[in-house]
Amino acid sequence: MSVTIIGSYLSPYVRKTLVCLQIKGVDYRIDPIVPFFGNDEFSRVSPLRRIPVYIDDRVALPDSTVICEFLEDRFPEPALLPASAELRANARWLEEFADSRMGEVFIWRLFNNLVINRFVWGQAVDEIQLRHTIDREIPSILDYLEARLPTAGYLFGAISIADIAIASFFRNASFSKYEVDPSRWPRTRHFADHVLDHPAFSSLRPFEELSLRTPIGEHRQALLDAGAPVTSETYATGRPRRGILRT
């Protein structure tokens, strides 16, 4: 079976998907595009022009949650959802909280403000939004997590989709030079550090850091040179275009 993932190593949603693939032992190739640089064919496989997209011999799926649910169904071992209905529901809720609320704040209001808007669109940092994000919105997220995360280990014993989804956004926070204060949110800081030390996360780190310091147009060749499992074909184009749901 041949699996292709379309999407940048810098995306938390791509990261979530790649970690799931690695834990389940599924080999893949990656077309490491920033979604704004997707061509017309990318719009066909991802109508919202978002990443990741998963393609194999049976399906072509956009959206990380749909992809990870498909992987859980097709490759049930090791399981990334707990056994009981109640715990599975809690895991799915925390994944949704990460993808929606943490995505809104850590990606659209922090990472995009500091990184994407500058290097894709040539826009200045919105300092007012940045201050509000750091002073008000991120603390509200961390307060919520601090009351729900374990003092040690993973949320449900073994690593789950909830752990993976939450930790993926803390990786992007670090790209934006934001670190969780361990004196104010000790559980959250320990949890993020612990999950991100999992081998499935740490194996991606060299490719993430390479992408972060490399101009977007040079990502593909730099990753090839570094030994990343890059596809032979790409959905990339040279000029960016804005997405459907957000800028």
Location of each CATH 1.20.1050.10 domain in the chain: 85-200
Region class of 40: left (phi > 0), else alpha (psi between -120 and 50), else beta: alpha
For the chain, counts of helices (H) and of strands (E): 12, 4
pLDDT at position 247, please?
Answer: 43
Q: DSSP string covering 102-138, please?
A: IIIIIIIIIIIIIIIHHHTT-PPP-HHHHHHIIIIIH
Location of each CATH 3.40.30.10 domain in the chain: 4-78+206-225
Q: How far is CA 212 from CA 30, 34, 115, 138, 165, in A?
A: 17, 12, 9, 22, 20
Q: Which fold has domain 85-200?
A: Glutathione S-transferase Yfyf (Class Pi); Chain A, domain 2 (1.20.1050)
The CATH superfamily assigned to 4-78+206-225 is Glutaredoxin (3.40.30.10)
Contacts of 215 (CB under 8 A, 6+ apart): 119
Tens of each residue's pLDDT in the chain, 247 residues: 799 999 999 999 999 999 999 999 999 999 999 998 899 999 999 999 999 999 999 999 999 999 999 999 999 999 999 999 999 999 999 999 999 999 999 999 999 888 888 878 788 889 999 999 999 999 999 999 999 999 999 999 999 999 999 999 999 999 999 999 999 999 999 999 999 999 999 999 999 999 999 999 999 999 999 999 999 999 999 888 877 765 4
Distance CA 15, CA 152 (A): 23
- CB count within 10 Å of CB 179 equals 11
Q: How far is CA 66 from CA 70, 86, 181, 217, in A?
A: 6, 20, 33, 29
- pTM for this predicted structure: 0.95
